[in-house]
Amino acid sequence: MIRTKVPAQRYDFPDEDVELVLERFRDLLSSRSFLTLGRYVAQFESEFATLTGTSHAVATSSGTAALEAILRSLDVAGAEVVVPTNTFAATAFAVLHAGGHVIFADCGDDLNLDPADVERRLTDSTKAVITVHVGGLISPNVVALREICGDRGIALVEDAAHAHGSTLDGRAAGAFGDAAAFSFFSTKVMTTGEGGMVVTDREDIAESARVTRDQGKVGGRNLHEVEGHNWRMTEFQAILGLAQLSRLPDFIRERRRVAQIYDVRLNGSSPYLRPMPVPAESGTNYYKYIVVLEGQDVGALTKRLAEEFGVKLGGFVYDIPCHEQPVFAAFARDDFPRAEYLCRHHICPPIYPSLSDGDANFVADALLEVVS
């Protein structure tokens, strides 16, 4: 066993940002300002709406809260919501907590939701479809999903937890559906530690999310017409979010630098591995760099990389699909062959802004050695 050389993930906070955040924390506390949903949250919402090109942004305590707030605004209680089976459990949990019925669907070859499979699962009870931008890639299939949903009067919701700053044909994640939910969890491309954001062009969804996140208060007053939740974002989170948002172009540029090294080193280098291609029109943020394996034991490969080379892989997207999770047994009504295969046969090499060219090449060397 050797000491880890390349960790799976590393937090990147430039020194000047650390000083800026601490200065704003000090100013916030010294001014005795309100610590939740204050001026920094409002600024963060405004700047994030600009990033996504949407009319409204509503900050929340988590990405899961953002997604459930959207679903509640769409009144999915008692209705069906189509969800990709290859997603994090929180996507389906948000549907259940909003009172909806989960209908799982298969993915395409790029791990994003397959429009043809979605279409065959739609019924008169379908109220919404959730597409997940897996690994930060906005699939061109989102255009077909939007047309399918638009023709049937079904809401299209983006789970954009991975996709901060990602684009398709120059259009930003969050601007393709009726609304989108972003996560700022610690491992994301940009973070507030915990936190989330609803973005939308629909005033009704934005207003509903604002009321729901703040205990159902109408106009911020002690008047309650609907059930609410404590899903508020603190000023401390927003201060960190503003610093991270200003760095997002740099973070994405550096992730793309690492991805380019992997592309050059791994494409066509072995019959046992295949980097997942990114369409020219998709400007991914490379939250994950996904490699599909052929004829390999993923568990054994992962263990050998760690023990012999000190390389920790960067997590899966996702290794166990939702329909195989015990908690969702009641909704596992079908087979999902592409999701089942791709979930079991992929890895994610480390990718983060501070990963050096040398370490990226070392990871590629180690991976090629292991699969050989």
Residues 362 and 224 in one domain: no
Residues 38 and 148 in one domain: yes
Confidence class of residue 33 from pLDDT cuts 50, 70 and 90?
confident
Residues 109 and 202 in one domain: yes
What CA–CA distance (Å, rounded) separates 247 from 244? 5
What CA–CA distance (Å, rounded) separates 366 from 308? 9
Q: Which domain holds residue 294?
A: 247-371
CATH of the domain at 303: 3.90.1150.10
Q: Which of 227, 243, 259 is the last residue of a domain?
A: 243
The whole-number pLDDT of residue 1 equals 46
Token digits of residue 58: 């509503």
- What is the mean predicted confidence (pLDDT) over 148-175? 98
Residue 370 pLDDT more than 90? yes
Condensed to tens digits (0 to 9), the pLDDT of residues 263-297 reads 999 999 999 999 999 999 999 999 999 999 999 99
The whole-number pLDDT of residue 2 equals 58
Residues 6+ apart with CB under 8 A from 316: 343, 346, 347, 348
The answer to whether position 5 is within a domain reads no
Residues 6+ apart with CB under 8 A from 131: 84, 112, 113, 139, 142, 145, 156, 157, 158, 159, 177
Residue 100 pLDDT more than 70? yes
The answer to whether position 81 is within a domain reads yes
Residues 226 and 255 in one domain: no
Condensed to tens digits (0 to 9), the pLDDT of residues 4-18 reads 689 999 988 889 999
- What is the mean predicted confidence (pLDDT) over 7-33? 92
Average pLDDT, the chain: 96
Confidence class of residue 177 from pLDDT cuts 50, 70 and 90?
very high
Which position has the higher pLDDT, 335 or 104? 104
Nearest to 353 by CA among 212, 274, 249, 283: 249
Does the reported pTM lie above 0.85? yes
Condensed to tens digits (0 to 9), the pLDDT of residues 70-94 reads 999 999 999 999 999 999 999 999 9
The answer to whether position 44 is within a domain reads yes
- What is the mean predicted confidence (pLDDT) over 248-270? 97
Q: Which of 243, 273, 296 is the last residue of a domain?
A: 243
The answer to whether position 7 is within a domain reads no
Residues 220 and 321 in one domain: no
